[in-house]
Structure 1
Amino acid sequence: MADYSNLTVGFIGAGKMATAMATGFFNAGLFKPSRMFASCPSEWDSSELQNMGVQVFEANLDVTERSDVIILAVKPDTVAPVLREVSQSLSKKQPLIISIAAGITIAALEKAHSGRYVRVMPNTPAVNPGYGASVFCPDFKCSPDDAKLVERMFSCLGFCSPIPEYLMDAVTGLSGSGPAYVFTVIEALSDGGVKMGLPRDLSTKLAAQTVLGAAKMVVESGQHPAVLRDNVASAGGTTIHGLHALEQGGIRNALITAVEAATKRSIEMGQSSQKK
C-alpha cells in the first residue's frame, strides 16, 4: 500500500465535514495532524481540529501555500470566489483539489481556476469513522495515482466508490441528503413509541438502534431489503399490519420524491454556478 504520510493536506473551511474528514484520516494513520492545515474565520469554533493538532489559519492562502492536496469544504456558492482568491497560489503549487460542494461540476470548478480536480460527495455520518458513504469522480487531468489517493482517503470514512460525474447529483439526493431523511424517520418512530406509552428517551434509543441494526443487516447480508422485510412480516402478524399503515401513508412515495427533489436541486445549483 502506498505511503501518503509525507503529503500535506489543507482544508478550506473547518466545519463539521472538514473535522470529520481530518479525524478519519488521522485515526486511519493516513496523515499526521502536523501535516494537515485548515482555514476558517476567527469567529468560528475550530477547537476540535486544533486539539487534534491541525494548524488552523484565518487566511485561505496560508493553507494553499502549504498543501499538496486541497479539500474545498465550503458552501457551494463560496467555491468559485475562494478559487479565484487563491488562484495564483494554486497555479504555483499545482495541488490536487478535492471539492465536496454539492452541485458544483468539474466544468464550473475549471471555469473558476484551471486545475486538477476530483469531485467527492461524502455524507455527515462520516463523523463516525466507518459509517460514512462517499463517491468520487476525477477529471481527465487526474492520474490513476490521484484516483487511488482519493479512494484511500475517503475509504477511511466508510464506503467509497468511483462513479461517472453524471450520477453525482443523484448521489447527492440519496446519500448526501439522505441522513436528514433517516433522522426524520427515527424521530417519527420515536413519536409513535411515545404515543403508545414509551418514555421519550427509551423510544428514541429503540428507534435509532432499530434503524442502525436494520441497515447493518442490509449491508452485511447482501440480501435485497424486500427479502429481509418479508422475513419479519409473518402472516397476520403485527409487522404486516404496520407495513400496511405505512403504505396507506405513502412512505415509499414520499422518500422517492425526496430523493428526486434533492437531486433536481443539486442540478439547479450546478447550472447556476456555471452561469457565474
Structure 2
Amino acid sequence: MVAPDVDRLFAGSIPQLYERYLVPLIFEPYAADLAARAALRTPSSVLEIAAGTGVVTRRLASTLAPSVAIVATDLNQAMLDHAASVGTSRPVEWRQADATQLPFPDETFDVVVCQFGAMFFPDKARAFSEARRVLRPGGAFMFNVWDRIDQNEFAHAVTLALEPVFPLDPPRFLARTPHGYSDTEVVARQLSEGGFVRDPDVTTLAARSRASSPDTVAIAYCQGTPLRNEIEARGPSRLLDATDAAAAAIRNRFGRGAVDGKIQAHIVVIER
C-alpha cells in the first residue's frame, strides 16, 4: 500500500516530541544494533538515509572511527534541523535528500544505513536502486523495518484504543505505515527489483520498550508521530481525547507506573 502524504509529514512540534518521547521508547535499541553492524564492516564512508532526528547518526558518530565520513540525510528538513540542534560527538554532514533521488555520485559509500525509513518510501524499489547505486562494490545496505503491529505491544494497544474514539473512521497510521511493511518476502522482492542480485540476510530482533508512565507512551505515539496528523484531521480538539484514550489503554494493560512492552523488528543486510 502507498502511504498517504500525511503519513510522511513530520512537521510542527512532531520532531521535538519524537526525539523526546519516541526515540528512547522504541528507537535506541535498534540504533545501537545498526551502528554495531556498520562498524563490523570497517567502512571509510557511511551514508544514512531517513535519519530523522539523528538517533542512529549519533550512534554512528560515537561507534565508528573518527576517520569515517558520515553523511546523514532526510527528506524532512524539520527533522534534520532538530537532529543538527541535538548534535553529535563529532562532525557529520547533514543534508536534505530524497531517498529515491540521492544527490551523490555512483559508488560513493561503503555502507548505506536506514533505520525505520523504508516503510515511508513511496517507491521502495527505486529507493533501493538508489541505495545500491551509491554503494561501492562489496558495500552493504543495512536497514530495519518493524514487524507486524501485533508483535509490538504499545503500538498495537494505542491503535486499538483509538477505534472507539473514532468509530466511523479510526486512525490507522501505525498499522498502515510503520508496521505495514513487515513481510520480508516482499522486502526481498523489492530489493531484487531495485537491482540487488544477492539474497538479503534477515534477522528478527525482539527488544523491550520502557517508559516511566502510560502517559509517556500515549504522547509518544499520538503526538510525536504522523498519527497526530491523522487525528487532528478529524478535528484539532480531538488530539487530547485520543491521547487520553491511548494512555488509559496502556494503563489498563500494563499498569499505572513504569511500563514495559515488547517491540520487534526485522534487520535486513544485503551486499552490492
The TM-score by the shorter chain falls in which range? 0.3 to 0.5
TM (norm. structure 2) is: 0.40
Higher strand share: 2
